[in-house]
Amino acid sequence: MSSTLLAAPGENLTAFDILLWVALPYASIATFLVGHYWRYRYDKFGWTTRSSQLYENRLLRLGSPLFHYGILLVIVGHIVGLLIPEDWTESVGISDSVYHACSAGLGIVAGVATLAGAAILIYRRRTTGPVFSATTGNDKIMYVLLIGTLLLGFGTTVFNNANNHPHHYRETVSPWFRSILSFRPDTDLILAAPLGFQLHVIAAWLLFAFWPFTRLVHVFSLPIGYLTRPYIVYRSRDRELGSRPEPRGWERIR
Ligand code: HEM
């Protein structure tokens, strides 16, 4: 075939494609990593959820676990769907149709829980006076990016699975995502995905870039030190058990 008819991979990319599918992902990853380092170095005391539990507890007790357990399931789904290549799941006997049925089922349960939790938390934030007063401009931008990413991801999943010929994102979005992580971006792959998937991914990169400057830093506050910290040492107040003599001036009042 003539070489003029066959475009080499990446040959037809515009500057805008490179901006969206190469520059944006790397700028976002760099800002995410350096931003967290900077925030930890210079704003250790601001590394907090800025909890509003003191102001309102009833709605928080319902919305918060729904949102957090839902998003944990969403994260597990993304790790499996984006990082595990299709031929790996096929080689252990999971057919494409079984994979898609499980991913759609779990994805929709996870998405509904996350969005329902988020709806309760936002309703609470808007209607509880002191919680609303404690909401900053930064929080509002964060909520728009977070909810935008969630709605675009969930909407895409629902529409895609309602379609008779669903798009196989494990042949486009997932290998593209891995090509970014391996520093060999293959932009043709993401350009082959439907618009809904592309918008979801752009929203996610914007969210990741803004993340280190928001309350979302609390995600990286696991009490890992608990695993290695010394046990709490209990000392008896019983005088007879202590072997050291009482220092002068510190004698017990009897
Ligand atoms: C660059 C990073 C990301 C990529 C490449 C990506 C890719 C995808 C893809 C391909 C799907 C469709 C799955 C399906 O149809 O079964 C999806 C669904 C979804 N995504 Fe993402 N995503 C990213 C980041 C995020 C983030 C940061 C969030 C949350 C804030 C999120 C929330 C969702 C939700 C809620 C769904 C619906 C399915 C579910 O509930 O798990 N995504 N995403």
Q: How far is the CA of 157 from the centre of ligand 1 (A)?
A: 8
For ligand 1, whether the C-beta of 153 sits within 6 Å is yes
Q: How many residues does the chain have?
A: 254
For ligand 1, whether the C-beta of 24 sits within 6 Å is no
User: Atom 20 of ligand 1 has which residue's CA nearest to it?
Assistant: 153
For ligand 1, whether the C-beta of 179 sits within 6 Å is no
Q: In sequence order, which residues have a C-beta less than 8 Å from that of residue 67 and are 6 or more positions away?
A: 113, 114, 117, 118, 120, 121
For ligand 1, whether the C-beta of 180 sits within 6 Å is no
Give the residue among 145, 142, 151, 78 at the shortest CA–CA distance from 112: 151
User: Atom 7 of ligand 1 has which residue's CA nearest to it?
Assistant: 201
Question: Encoding tokens for residue 195?
Answer: 């618009």
**Per-run averaged pLDDT (10 residues), the chain, 254 residues:** 57 92 98 97 89 90 96 96 94 91 93 98 95 95 98 96 90 98 97 97 98 95 71 62 70 68
For ligand 1, whether the C-beta of 170 sits within 6 Å is no
For ligand 1, whether the C-beta of 113 sits within 6 Å is no
Q: How far is the CA of 193 from the centre of ligand 1 (A)?
A: 14
Test site for ligand 1: of 82, 200, 201, 211, most ligand atoms within 8 A of the Cβ: 200
Q: Say what the pLDDT of residue 45 is.
A: 86
- Going from the C-alpha of 201 to that of each of 149, 152, 196, the distances in angstroms are 8, 9, 9
Q: Say what the pLDDT of residue 1 is.
A: 36
- E strands, the chain, are none
User: Atom 24 of ligand 1 has which residue's CA nearest to it?
Assistant: 204
Q: Say what the pLDDT of residue 2 is.
A: 39
pTM of the model: 0.86
Q: How far is the CA of 161 from the centre of ligand 1 (A)?
A: 14
Give the residue among 109, 107, 113 at the shortest CA–CA distance from 63: 113
For ligand 1, whether the C-beta of 39 sits within 6 Å is no
C-beta atoms surrounding 81 within 10 Å: 18
- Going from the C-alpha of 59 to that of each of 65, 73, 119, 223, 245, the distances in angstroms are 11, 22, 11, 26, 55
Q: Say what the pLDDT of residue 44 is.
A: 87
